[in-house]
Amino acid sequence: MAETKRWWKESVVYQIYPRSFNDSNGDGIGDIPGITEKLDYLKTLGIDVIWLSPVYKSPNDDNGYDISDYKDIMDEFGTMADWETMLAEAHKRGLKVIMDLVVNHSSDEHAWFLESRQAKDNPYRDYYIWRPGKEDGSEPNNWESAFSGSAWEYDEKTGEYYLHLFSKKQPDLNWENPTVRSEVHDMMKWWLDKGVDGFRMDVINFISKEPGLPDAPNPHGKKYVPGGDYFMNGPRIHEFLHEMYNEVLRHYDVMTVGEMPGVDEKEAIKYTDEAREELNMVFQFEHVDLDSGPEGKWDIRPLKLEALRENLVKWQKALEHNGWNSLYWNNHDQPRVVSRFGNDRDYHYQSATMLATLLHMMKGTPYIYQGEEFGMTNVAFTDIADYNDIETLNMYHEKRAEGVPHDELMAKIHIKGRDNARTPVQWDDSRHAGFTSGEPWLKVNPNYPEVNAEAALNDPKSIFYYYQKLIELRHSNETVVYGSFDLLIEDDPEVFAYKRELGDEMLLVYCNFYNGEPDVTLPKEVRGRERELFLANREDAPTDLDTFTLRPYEAVVYRIR
């Protein structure tokens, strides 16, 4: 079946976390003029779309994911005029800009919430989710917040609790209320009319909660338990998204990606099937949860290639006809991939480029997170005071209070903490990596003298130029975008190999996921046929052997016509 061509299928998206991107005024905090300064850099890389993490007014309890005014810019980031300049300059360069839409919750400092908490009969009361406590006065249910503790906060003034799936400064909006939905639609149109090119939608599959908000099963008698089954992909979610499409999105040529923890491929096909008119693609989390155990993200397990392959293939196949995949390793919530699934010490270039190849050659829209393009790594501060992330700090303090030793917790934070992704972008080898002339809000990773954008730009063999090449190939080759996907080798514990096919062209992708030296054999159909080297992260990949050895973290892509 012929694929519908869309610009967002042919694009590569680059995520900017503004606080950590580039500081133009020396206050230690990245800002919008700082982004404008780096547009030429992004153009050199070759990306098509910038996704801006939230830049709206916010008290920054969760670094901008707690919005107090959806139509204004955070003071630390600049002004609306700065934002307009940035957008115009991006558009001038042919770069699109999508905004982060955070509407599962607002800040508790949003005018709606300030009203809502005033009185039970306040006209804004129903904008949020208020409930009386249980008979004994305890929380309305046993749900745990994503950032530890109860998902409910008691409010003295009216003697009721409000729901907050994230921090208590992020009250959940009540999407059952049609006025809330139309407020969100109006706000979206307001930004679209300013010229934005789409939205990344924060935890958008959380907006429809199970009526009655029941207690979650609690077999181990814990105080609070994850209540995801009662709010992830809830009963009215597809209705709400389809309504949003009809009211807003249908009228603009934009792209949408819904962030969806807990989404599986069956649900994802419903969200992304074009005929259903909901979203273009979703961010799923299964592949980045494979190194977590049953207790969640801090219950850390080693990743096995078999599990990763099985998962990625499942997603490739499930969405192959009517849906569309997003492809990502990194974002502001995930540790750095070269440290996580690669080897940032002994095979920095090799493993970073292998992982990039594995991801970018699959079918879907790839996302690059700032600094990934030159191999930024995880960080390991030893003092908890050097961390900023609310999730990390809440977990640390809760577990310390339970008696878990400091070192044990720091070891987890070094592997999984969100600040791994949030240390300032390392632009050069000057003080604070050229991120700021002042004192950065979060310390710079001490490896900046070696790992930085300037060094990468000066080295034709750097990770940066490999990403540039990957992007170029996507732009110049239709098979990369629209070709079918099939696994080549089912069960090799070290090698991920797949093919992409369109018309008479075939791309064969071989990725050695570890530092061994496995042999691979080409599929029967192409043996003895001539093939050209499409892309490789090592010199001298053979083009004439049917069986060959992959070197540590080698990635090679052959083209057969």
**DSSP label at residue 279:** -
**DSSP label at residue 373:** G
Q: Does 312 bind ligand NOJ (CB under 6 A)?
A: no
Query: Of the two residues 267 and 333, which places its CB atom closer to ligand NOJ in the complex?
Result: 333
Set 31, 144, 259, 344: catalytic member: 259
Taking the alpha carbons of 164, 170, 171, 175 in that order, is the dihedral positive or negative?
A: negative
Any alpha helices (H) in 157-261, and if so which ranges? 178-193, 237-247
Site residue total, ligand NOJ (CB under 6 A): 9
CA distances from 514 to 29, 50, 80, 343 (A): 37, 32, 47, 9
**Residue of 423, 417, 173 lying closest to 297 (CA atoms):** 417
Site map 326..365 versus ligand NOJ, x via CB under 6 A: ------xx--------------------------------
Query: Of the two residues 116 and 167, which places its CB atom closer to ligand NOJ in the complex?
Result: 167
Q: Does 283 bind ligand NOJ (CB under 6 A)?
A: no
Helix (H, G, I), strand (E, B) or coil at 99: strand
Supply the minimum distance, in Å, between the C-beta of residue 202 and ligand NOJ.
5
Q: Does 201 bind ligand NOJ (CB under 6 A)?
A: no
Query: Of the two residues 169 and 474, which places its CB atom closer to ligand NOJ in the complex?
Result: 169
- Can you tell me the distance from the alpha carbon of 170 to that of 106, in angstroms, rounded to the nearest whole number? 5
Q: Does 65 bind ligand NOJ (CB under 6 A)?
A: yes
Closest-approach residue to ligand NOJ (CB): 65
Return the residue of 23, 144, 202, 344 that touches ligand NOJ, per CB under 6 A.
Answer: 202
202 noted as active-site residue: yes
Report whether 326 contacts 257 (CB < 8 A). yes
**Pair of tokens at residue 285:** 């989390």
Binders of ligand NOJ in range 159-178 (CB under 6 A): 166
Q: Does 61 bind ligand NOJ (CB under 6 A)?
A: no
Supply the minimum distance, in Å, between the C-beta of residue 53 and ligand NOJ.
8
**Other beta carbons within 10 Å of 41:** 14
Supply the minimum distance, in Å, between the C-beta of residue 203 and ligand NOJ.
5
Query: Of the two residues 15 and 353, which places its CB atom closer to ligand NOJ in the complex?
Result: 15
**Residue of 231, 200, 251 lying closest to 365 (CA atoms):** 200
Residues ≥6 apart with Cβ < 8 Å to 72: 56, 57, 80
Q: Does 197 bind ligand NOJ (CB under 6 A)?
A: no
Give the residue carrying structure tokens 């630390």.
76
Q: Does 286 bind ligand NOJ (CB under 6 A)?
A: no
Return the residue of 62, 172, 278, 373 that touches ligand NOJ, per CB under 6 A.
Answer: 62
407 noted as active-site residue: no
Q: Does 257 bind ligand NOJ (CB under 6 A)?
A: no
Set 82, 202, 291, 344: catalytic member: 202
As a three-state string, the secondary structure of 98-154 is EEEECCCECCCCCHHHHHHCCCCCCCCHHHECEECCCCCCCCCCCEECCCCCECEEE
Supply the minimum distance, in Å, between the C-beta of residue 353 and ligand NOJ.
26
Return the residue of 102, 279, 282, 379 that touches ligand NOJ, per CB under 6 A.
Answer: 102
**Residue of 173, 20, 41 lying closest to 104 (CA atoms):** 173
**Residue of 80, 76, 158, 146 lying closest to 117 (CA atoms):** 158
- Can you tell me the distance from the alpha carbon of 386 to that of 270, in angstroms, rounded to the nearest whole number? 42
Active site residue ranges: 202, 259
| Interface ranges with ligand NOJ (CB under 6 A) | 62, 65, 102, 166, 202-203, 259, 332-333
